[in-house]
Amino acid sequence: MMIKLNNNQHKESHGFVEHLQLVRHRLIYISRREMKIFSKRPLFLFSMIIAPLICIFFFTTLMMKGLPTKLPAAIVDADNTHVTRIFCRLLDAFEGTDVKYVFHNFSEARQAMQEGKIYAFYYLPKGMTRDCESQRQPTISFYTNDAYYVPANLLMRDMKTAGVLGGLALTRSSLWGHGTPDSEVMGILQPIVIETHPMKNAFLDYSVYLSNMLVPGLLILLIMLTTTYVIGLEWKQDRQMELYIISGRSPAVALLGKILPQTAIYTIIIIFMNVWFYRYLGFPCNCGLPTMIGLGILTVLASQGFAVFLFGLMAGEMRLSMCICSLWGILSFSLAGFTFPVTAMSTYLRILADWFPLRHYYVIYVNAALDGWSLYYVWPSIVALCCFALLPILVLPRYRKAFLEFKYMA
C-alpha cells in the first residue's frame, strides 16, 4: 500500500514539474513574441528607453546647481545717496540676486516687472538717509512677482535679509558714534545667536527635492501607459484569441508573458536612475543603494499591476483605460505629498492619496533614504505596493471573458 502511494505521489510531482516547464515555455514564447512586436514599433523603444533617459538627464541637469542663482531684480533708488548705494551693493552681493537695473522712479520698475525683465524690485524712498541719521525709522519696501512663485520667494528672502542687515549696520554705526565698545555692540545687535542646521538636505538642493519625485513619477506614468497600450494592442489588432490559445487558455500566463519584457527594461532603467542619483550625483541616501533599487523594482511591479487592473476593468476599451492611467499619473504629483502635505488635505483626499503608487514610493523614500529609518517603520507602504502588484488577480475572470467575447472599441 505504501509503495502504491509513493508511486502516485511521484506521478503527481512529475506532472506538476511538467506543467511548470510547459508554463515556462509558454512565457518564453509570449515574451519573444512581444519583443518582435517591440522591434517593429519604434514607439515602444522611445517610451520605454529614450523617454525615461531624457527625463532623468533633463531634470538632473536642469537643476544641477541646486538652487536658482542670479535671479534678475532691480532697485528703485529715489534717494541716491551713499547709504542707498551701500544697500544696492549689499543686495547684489547675494548669490541668488542679480541687480540688473537701478531705477529712479517707481513706474519704470513696475513696467520692467510687467515686461518680465525682473522678478522683484527694492524701493528705497526719498529722504531715507536723512531719516536714518535722525532715527525716524524710514520705511523701505520690496515688491515681488508671485506669478513666478519660486524665484519671487527666493528674492523676497534675499531682500528681507538685506533690509535687516542694512538696518543693523546703521544701528552699529550709531552705537559706535556714541562710544559703545565693540564687545557690547554685538550683544545689542544680536542678543541671541541663531544657528541654522537644515536636516536631510543640508545644501538646500532643489534637485534633491524635486528630481527624486518628478523622475519616478514620470516613470510610473510611462509604465502605466505602455502597459495598457501593449495589452490593448492585442484587441486592436484582433489577435487576442491567438494570444489566449498560445498561453494555454490562461489569462495569467498571457498577461505575465506580455509584461515581462517591459519589466526587464524598466528594471534596468530604475537601476540606472538610482546609480545616477545616489552614486554619481551624490544625493543623500541613508538606507543604501540596494534598498532604493529594491524599492524601484517594487514600484515598477506595482505600476504594472495597477495598469493591468485598470485595463481589466475596461477590457476592450484601450483608449479609456489609457486616459484613466494618464489622469492617475498626473494626479499623483499633487496627492503624493511632496508639494503639499497630505496631513493638511481633507479627509477624502487623504484616503484617495493611498491609491497612488507614487505616494507610497515617496513615504518610503523620505523615511528610508532621507531619515535613515528601518523599513519596519514603513511596512504599510511596502504592503500597499505589493497589493498594487497583485491587483490583476482580481480581474483575471474578466480577462478570460474579454479574450473570448470582447472586441476592440475605437
Query: Domain limits of the chain?
Result: 38-63+205-405, 71-189
Q: What is the CATH number of domain 71-189?
A: 3.40.1710.10
Q: Are 66 and 202 spatial neighbours (Cβ–Cβ below 8 Å)?
A: no
What is the identity of the amino acid at 174? S
pLDDT at 1 over 50: no
**What would the mean pLDDT of 290-309 be, rounded to a whole number?**
94
pLDDT of residue 163: 81
| Rounded CA separation 122/163 (Å) | 10
Q: Where is average pLDDT lowest: 145-149, 169-173, 356-360, 393-397?
A: 169-173
pLDDT tens track for 305-333: 999 999 988 876 788 888 999 999 899 98
pLDDT tens track for 213-229: 899 999 999 999 999 99
Round the average pLDDT of the chain to a whole number and report it. 85
Which one, of 78, 35, 53, 102, lies nearest residue 263 by Cα?
A: 35
**What would the mean pLDDT of 250-276 be, rounded to a whole number?**
93
Torsion of CA 167, 168, 171, 177, to 10 degrees: -120
Burial 242-273 (b: 16+ CB within 10 A, else e): ebbebbeebbebbbbbbbbbbbebbeebbeeb
pLDDT tens track for 119-140: 998 888 888 888 777 777 888 8
**What would the mean pLDDT of 57-62 be, rounded to a whole number?**
87
Tell me the range of 52-56, 152-156, 404-408 where mean pLDDT is highest.
52-56
What pTM was computed for the model? Answer: 0.82
pLDDT of residue 256: 92
pLDDT at 370 over 70: yes
pLDDT of residue 50: 92
| Rounded CA separation 124/81 (Å) | 10
| Rounded CA separation 73/75 (Å) | 7
**What would the mean pLDDT of 89-108 be, rounded to a whole number?**
86
> How many CB atoms are closer than 10 A to CB 215?
20
Q: Where is average pLDDT lowest: 34-43, 149-158, 193-202, 326-335?
A: 193-202
pLDDT at 5 over 60: no
Helix H or strand E encompassing 270:
helix 251-275
Report the share of the chain in percent with pLDDT over 90. Answer: 28
pLDDT tens track for 178-226: 777 777 777 777 777 777 777 777 667 778 888 888 999 999 999 999 9
